Amino acid sequence: MKDALKRISALTKRNLKEILRDPISLIFLIGLPLFMLILFYYIFHNLTAQFEMRYLAPGIIAFSQAFLTLFVGLLMSLDRASAFLIRLYVTPAGSYEFIAGYVLAMLPISLVQSVLFFVTAGIIEPSFFSVNMIWGVLCSLVTALLFIGFGILFGSVCNEKAIGGIASIVISGQSVLSGMWFPLEGIDKNVITVMNVLPFRPAAQFLQHIVSGTEAVFDDIIKPLLIVLAYTVVITTAGILVYNAKMKRQ
Amino acid sequence: MSAIRTEKLRKEYKDVVAVDSLDLQIEEGELFSLLGVNGAGKTTTIKMLTTLTTPTSGDAFVLGYSINNDKKKIKEQIDVSMQQTAVARNLTVRENIEFYCEMRGKSKEETEAALKHTYEVFGLDKVEKKRAKQLSGGWQRKLSIALALVGGPKVLFLDEPTLGLDVIARRELWRAIEQLKGKMTIVLTTHYMEEAEALSDRIGIMKDGRLLFVGGKDSLFEKTGTGSVEEAFIKIVEEN
């Protein structure tokens, strides 16, 4: 057990360095969402409640987490393609240690994203600072696991050339189907149903209501949380099964 | 005790037999070269011996442990450097070695010793602060092989270690491999006959998954009536 924890720690540190030392990843994980937060707030916050900081900042956090799918998937597929993982398969490490290494490396990145975006939101709109912000940071780790799960699945299934295209479905899904950029009044009922069934809107809703507060705790917080958790469990389990199967096939 | 012993080892992929009833024995401390044309079954044999691939039938014993039943025990005592360079791209040379030491459960003192050893054998100290992706192909390959040494393996598998390297880089790697001879059992696959001739204690020649010859260089020359490994290899492969 002690040896396994040491190996997981080594894998986590290595994966974190691999991602943070790639400037492209920093642009997409931090730079782009931060730019969008500031830009959209100043352009639209007086026009619609959609862009008030209590909705915009948590929505942007969920959007920025969608890029975790791209980078964890890319790292996994590149590792597989470069024979790096084959080398590690000859160590006593088990498959769960490799998966844990990828997941744990992404969590500090997610933490930095949510702290940075919430603090920026608070600087722009000081009334935004509250205890709910701390809850928002903690709860964002839950939604991060959803997108990391997507990355584990895609990284196990796809090669490095396909990852960009596949991950962009999740990124686009989180952007368009979360409902954060436009008011939902007047949108077709069937579209709303699809948005509610997929995990993207629930992920944004969950964080938005944690931060802004709500009296309808079940509908606004628990229900979206359960949807996010269900997707996370199913997708991550599928990813682990595919990963194990590929590991055995090496 | 033999370092490696295979018993009717066989691997099939759908309707292709990659390795066919392989019976082979490699002694401790020996440098054994496995030769063969593309598709002869060399890499599949290495993959089975390193527990990366499960055999269809038969068994092999590495340091007395079965590849079917004692995978973890085997993994603790072997290492491998595959054909492709396998390093962490964005980590420096030093970080790569430290990372792999951690994966092998080495203490800080053991890691320092491993760094010192690999720097001595491969001259990696000259590039220790460079990220792996910034290194030339030759340095990357040296690092890749150096990583296979940091765990102090008793059996080291080198699958075409000098593939694609220029002649200078290849000779440098030969010198490094020569320094390891006798300290551990080394199983080497290669397409370069002069490499096998320069480095090997014994040679095995495979074709279509079958082992056609096993023995020392002298017996290979005697059997084929030739004077070089290359000529002997061509004769054996063409006649079978």
pLDDT tens, position by position, B4-20: 999 999 999 988 999 99
pLDDT at A46: 87
pLDDT at A64: 97
Q: What pLDDT digit, counting tens, does each position of A105-121 carry? A: 999 999 999 999 999 99
CA atoms of B8 and A194, how far apart (whole Å): 57
Is B85 in the A-facing interface, judged by CB distances under 8 Å?
yes
Task: Read off the pLDDT of each residue in A53-58 and give the average, rounded to a whole number.
Answer: 94
Name the pairing type of β-strands B2-13 and B210-215. unpaired
pLDDT classification of B209: cutoffs 50, 70, 90: very high
pLDDT at B65: 96
Is A215 a residue whose pLDDT tops 90?
no
A10 closest CB neighbour out of B83, B85, B103: B103
Is B202 a residue whose pLDDT tops 80?
yes
pLDDT classification of A190: cutoffs 50, 70, 90: very high
Q: Residue B156: enclosing H or E segment and its boundaries?
A: strand B155-159
Examine the predicted complex and report whether its ipTM is higher than 0.95.
no
Is A192 a residue whose pLDDT tops 90?
yes
Residues from chain A that touch B14, judged by Cβ atoms under 8 A, are none
Task: Read off the pLDDT of each residue in A185-202 and give the average, rounded to a whole number.
Answer: 92
User: How much is the mean pLDDT over chain A?
Assistant: 93
Q: In the structure encoding, which two tokens stand for residue B179, read together? A: 């320094």
Query: Percentage of residues in chain A with pLDDT exceeding 70?
Result: 99
- The SS3 call for residue B233 is helix
pLDDT at B163: 83
Is B130 a residue whose pLDDT tops 90?
yes
pLDDT at A24: 92
A17 closest CB neighbour out of B75, B84, B91: B91
Is B234 in the A-facing interface, judged by CB distances under 8 Å?
no
Q: What pLDDT digit, counting tens, does each position of A133-173 carry? A: 999 999 999 999 999 999 999 999 999 899 999 999 999 99
Domain extents in chain A: 2-249
pLDDT at A121: 96
Is A2 a residue whose pLDDT tops 70?
yes
Residues from chain A that touch B54, judged by Cβ atoms under 8 A, are 248
Is A57 a residue whose pLDDT tops 90?
yes
Task: Read off the pLDDT of each residue in A55-79 and give the average, rounded to a whole number.
Answer: 95
pLDDT at A49: 83
Query: B residues 20-49 near A, CB within 8 Å?
Result: 47
CA atoms of B212 and B185, how far apart (whole Å): 22
Q: In the structure encoding, which two tokens stand for residue B152, read together? A: 């102090």
Is B72 in the A-facing interface, judged by CB distances under 8 Å?
yes
Q: Which of B109, B112, B108, B169 is nearest to B144 (CA)?
A: B169
pLDDT at A250: 63
Describe the strand order of the beta sheet including B57-62 as a list of residue ranges.
B16-27, B2-13, B57-62, B65-66
pLDDT at A175: 93
Q: What pLDDT digit, counting tens, does each position of A22-35 carry? A: 999 999 999 999 99
For residue B123, CA distances in Å to B40, B42, B82, B117, B150 come to 34, 29, 21, 9, 14
Residues from chain A that touch B82, judged by Cβ atoms under 8 A, are 83, 86-87
Find the DSSP H helices in chain B. 42-49, 71-75, 93-103, 108-122, 137-149, 167-180, 193-199, 217-224, 229-239
pLDDT at B31: 95
